[in-house]
Chain A
């Protein structure tokens, strides 16, 4: 390996220059400096982005949440930015539409995340069992929705939810069942369905890739121990892909908390979805419809804190489960 590479390296400087003195402390320091310079050059573009489109915006959001534009004297005179302390937070946290949005997303997460993780893992285990016919085709078919942009997935399903266009509703109608996919009780499950449809195959592929990495001896050993295929899948393979399960859960959670695209599109056709249906929609509405930057910023910070706390919770919860497993 090394030799093939070495011949490919275009010796920019003379090879003799570095090699003999490599052991001297001065040369080592010089080499170290060269490495730090290289690290700096390679990392600078990313960290410039990190500062400009991440750190400064997060800082700005926190800053804005403590300030407000007040117009003294009946709205005449120049606008002033004044410190209002926690007033925006109080306004957000007592706003029933914001709390309602948080509740909606909580419900959405409670339905969506278990369905997604269990569904994707189950499909991956089935495909890994070796009895599925046309496995490559099945995988491709399941993965296909991942190539459909979120807004278009929402569009397709919106049409499939719309009476008059939808063959699904037609089919139900023939069985004398009228179903309103965008009613009070069905709207959240309908959104869950869109997200599930979009991401199931992708997460299945992640799990499947992890299952492929499970050493075959482990599985053979479990078979020798007399475990059937179902037990092998649930008690041998599943624990071995825990890292993937945790990763998929966290990413699913982070995305679910940002719920925006699907309800935004469905709101064009359903009166059940208000413009403040989810926290992200609330932020958008506060910032760009009502132009209340303080309120939008406070809502953003609340959403951010919820996201970090929940992700941290999932990590802690799973690592503790890990420890108790080790102890047994």
Chain B
């Protein structure tokens, strides 16, 4: 915000106070539940049920952490590794595939291009629940049900990433660069991999981050495809433990601790990659 309009547009004292109060309440609304999760993760089961969050008398963070990784023979550690595999590898491959396709949509002309692009956009709209049953039947036909691949392959598909890739290609890779490369006699693919991909870096990171979030959140597909607990991602595992908690309350503290740990990778990714996704969001929103 420039100095000129902030001085011209500055509301009165009352207005300023109101604005700050409204924003402060909104921030409390978004932060307090996370704070509750942090506090509750350090509680013993009994203290949890006494709603006495702020007392430090039954502080058992380390104990809960130990219990979490010991529960059911260390299942949680497995789930965590699975989630990381599904999300990090899946998002990396998915982002490369989508951005390459978006780039081709922007830089090359061919027949029915816009119709094909329309198909890609339509795919964004289709609910995952609609695809789940057919995907399950196909996977079972191929003998892939209850394997890593049954979850891994479908999450690679990211039509919104193609849309973003096209926008980024238009914004970050000027056509003159391609012309110059052609004049120099560089092959089209060489140009893409050696020049364009580097310029598309921030866009690639944005698509990666969006997809990482989506896969880390993924719950429906694993629930449909997997019955072997050893293949579960964290989301599905915690869901299962939570349903067990109503019968055996010793699961409550580990579910809470497990939730806290499951939040960390995305926060880390967002903080580390902040520089990139902020510019990415602008490109996606402003068009």
Q: Do A and B come from one complex?
A: yes
Using CB atoms and an 8 Å cutoff, list the residues of chain A in contact with chain B: 1-2, 5-6, 8-19, 22, 31, 34-39, 41-43, 45-47, 49-50, 52-54, 56-61, 64, 123, 126-133, 137-138, 141-153, 155-160, 164-167, 170, 197, 200-201, 205-207, 209-210, 212-213, 216, 219-220, 223, 228-230, 232, 243-244, 247, 254, 257-258, 260-261, 264-265, 268-269, 279-280, 283-284, 287-288, 293, 296-297, 300-301, 303-304, 307-308, 311
**Which chain A residues border B105 with CB–CB below 8 Å?**
43
Min CB distance A1 to B, Å, is 7
**Roughly how many angstroms separate A268 CA and B244 CA in the complex, as a whole number?**
9
Interface of B: prevailing SS: helix
By the criterion CB–CB under 8 Å, are A209 and B278 in contact? yes
Choice from B23, B110, B129, B195 contacting A126 with Cβ under 8 Å: B23
Say whether B135 faces chain A, with CB atoms less than 8 Å apart.
yes
By the criterion CB–CB under 8 Å, are A303 and B127 in contact? yes
By the criterion CB–CB under 8 Å, are B138 and A5 in contact? no
By the criterion CB–CB under 8 Å, are B5 and A17 in contact? no
Known: A42-B101, A53-B131, A269-B246. A156 touches B37 (CB 8 A): yes
Question: How many residues on B have C-beta within 8 angstroms of the other chain's C-beta atoms?
Answer: 113
By the criterion CB–CB under 8 Å, are A157 and B33 in contact? yes
**Which chain B residues border A257 with CB–CB below 8 Å?**
127
Min CB distance B250 to A, Å, is 15
**Roughly how many angstroms separate A243 CA and B103 CA in the complex, as a whole number?**
23
Min CB distance B253 to A, Å, is 11
Choice from A10, A56, A229 contacting B138 with Cβ under 8 Å: A56
State which of B10-18, B61-69, B74-82 sits at the interface with chain A. B10-18
Known: A138-B27, A300-B133. A164 touches B120 (CB 8 A): no
Using CB atoms and an 8 Å cutoff, list the residues of chain B in contact with chain A: 1-2, 4-6, 8-11, 15-16, 19-20, 22-24, 26-27, 29-31, 33-34, 36-37, 40, 48-49, 51, 53, 97-98, 100-101, 103-105, 107-108, 110, 119-120, 122-138, 153-154, 156-157, 159, 162, 174, 176-177, 180-192, 194-195, 213, 216-217, 219-220, 223-224, 234-235, 238-239, 242-243, 246, 255-256, 259, 262-263, 266-267, 269-270, 278, 281-282, 284-287
**Which chain B residues border A138 with CB–CB below 8 Å?**
23-24, 26-27
Choice from B119, B154, B174 contacting A53 with Cβ under 8 Å: B154
Min CB distance B249 to A, Å, is 11
**Which chain A residues border B129 with CB–CB below 8 Å?**
258, 260, 279-280, 283-284, 300, 303
Choice from B130, B184, B242, B285 contacting A247 with Cβ under 8 Å: B285
By the criterion CB–CB under 8 Å, are A147 and B267 in contact? yes
Choice from A6, A58, A156, A223 contacting B259 with Cβ under 8 Å: A156
By the criterion CB–CB under 8 Å, are A58 and B131 in contact? yes
Closest residue of chain B to A214, judged by CB? Answer: B286
**Which chain B residues border A160 with CB–CB below 8 Å?**
33, 36
**Which chain B residues border A165 with CB–CB below 8 Å?**
48-49, 51
**Which chain B residues border A219 with CB–CB below 8 Å?**
5, 9
Known: A11-B184, A132-B19, A156-B36. A46 touches B101 (CB 8 A): yes
By the criterion CB–CB under 8 Å, are A152 and B186 in contact? no
**Roughly how many angstroms separate A142 CA and B188 CA in the complex, as a whole number?**
43
**Which chain B residues border A284 with CB–CB below 8 Å?**
129, 132, 220, 223-224
Add 11 more A-B contacts to A11-B184, A308-B125 (CB < 8 A).
A6-B180, A9-B194, A34-B187, A42-B104, A59-B134, A133-B20, A216-B4, A220-B4, A258-B128, A287-B133, A288-B136
By the criterion CB–CB under 8 Å, are B190 and A12 in contact? yes
**Roughly how many angstroms separate A33 CA and B23 CA in the complex, as a whole number?**
57
